[in-house]
Amino acid sequence: MNQIDTAKLETALNLKNKQKFARLPAPLRMFLLDSKGAIGLLMLLAILLMSLSAPLLSDYDPQRRAGGSHEPPSAEHILGTTRMGKDVFTQLVYGGRTSLLVGFTASLLSVAIAIVIGVSAGYFGGVVDELLTFLTNVMLVIPGLPLIIVMASFFDGGASPFVIGVVFAITGWAWSARVLRTQTLTLKNKEFITAAELIGERKWRIVLIQIFPNMLSLTVGGFVLGTIYAILAEAGLEFIGIGDPSAVTWGTMLYWAQSNQAISFGAWWELVPPAVAIMWTGAALTLINFSVDQITNPQLASQKNQSKIRRFLKGASA
């Protein structure tokens, strides 16, 4: 049996470098040490910053004609113009504002509903649980997308992005609520909850301060996934023409590109930028979700180094 030099292994795994982050709280540390999470976060920040500083990045109005029809990318129009002569880059950054805002608010709202319903059902039990679980199950079996299409079609001239967001929130909370209810049931039987009850803690404080923080990583995971879903679905609905075509979002950009037959005119610049933006945001959030997964599940985190260790061991024995 070969003796293994732990000092060399430490250098091979670059552990010294990681110790610098030791003082940070565990979730943040994992985020920074995990390359996936860090890349995802940077990607998301980039697209957020771009959308937030839209008025600084562009002088044009996204709704108005800024040049000729289907002008290719140039110094004046970085990503060219649409068939209507609107500046694509301007539409992209302004559209990002709406798309991201709708995605995040819809997801936040649905997570909030999920927390209230899931945690209450789990903690209070009995009749409350029966009723809320019934409601959750009903929501689960209702097919979400067709319902949204039906609901959105009630609005004249298509549903505005925010209506779509709210509809998402109302139809999309059931799955997280189920997960949170199960988690609450496990936590409820922990002795620290009994101890809190014995010292006379009020019920809402037990739910909010004792139980909820223990499910934070789970909630964040649900929120990230929910955001991806909301952004993609919103874009999808607008693309098929359910949304309000006068709103500027990534989805309506795709809708117009399609109905103006941008591809057959060879105007790829009308179609590609919104598509890439949606993919970019989805990828960023997925990467973040990988990291969140590792925080929730330490088992995954401990497997991270293994391939590096194996490589080192092979090198050492060869």
| Site size toward other proteins, by CB under 8 A | 36
Q: Measured from the CB atom, is 61 or 293 closer to other proteins? A: 293
Q: How far is the CB of 191 from other proteins (least distance, A)?
A: 4
Q: Measured from the CB atom, is 23 or 266 closer to other proteins? A: 23
Q: Does residue 318 bind other proteins (CB under 8 A)?
A: no
Q: Does residue 299 bind other proteins (CB under 8 A)?
A: no
Which residue in 209, 240, 263, 279 binds other proteins (CB under 8 A)? 209
Q: Measured from the CB atom, is 64 or 310 closer to other proteins? A: 310
The binding track of 174-203 with respect to other proteins, each residue x by CB under 8 A or -, is: ----------------xxx-xxx-xxxx--
Q: Does residue 214 bind other proteins (CB under 8 A)?
A: yes
The two tokens of residue 202 are 């009020």
Q: Are 272 and 254 in contact (CB under 8 A)?
A: no
Q: Measured from the CB atom, is 74 or 303 closer to other proteins? A: 303
Q: How far is the CB of 19 from other proteins (least distance, A)?
A: 5
The binding track of 75-114 with respect to other proteins, each residue x by CB under 8 A or -, is: ----------------------------------------
Q: Are 294 and 300 in contact (CB under 8 A)?
A: yes
Q: Which stretch binds other proteins (CB under 8 A): 9-17, 75-83, 242-250, 281-289?
A: 9-17
Which residue in 84, 179, 185, 301 binds other proteins (CB under 8 A)? 301
Q: How far is the CB of 104 from other proteins (least distance, A)?
A: 25
Q: Does residue 13 bind other proteins (CB under 8 A)?
A: yes
**CA 48, CA 57: separation in Å to the nearest integer?**
13
Q: Which residues here bind other proteins, judged by CB under 8 A?
A: 1, 3-4, 6, 9-10, 13, 15, 18-19, 21-22, 33, 190-192, 194-196, 198-201, 209-210, 213-214, 216, 301-306, 309-310
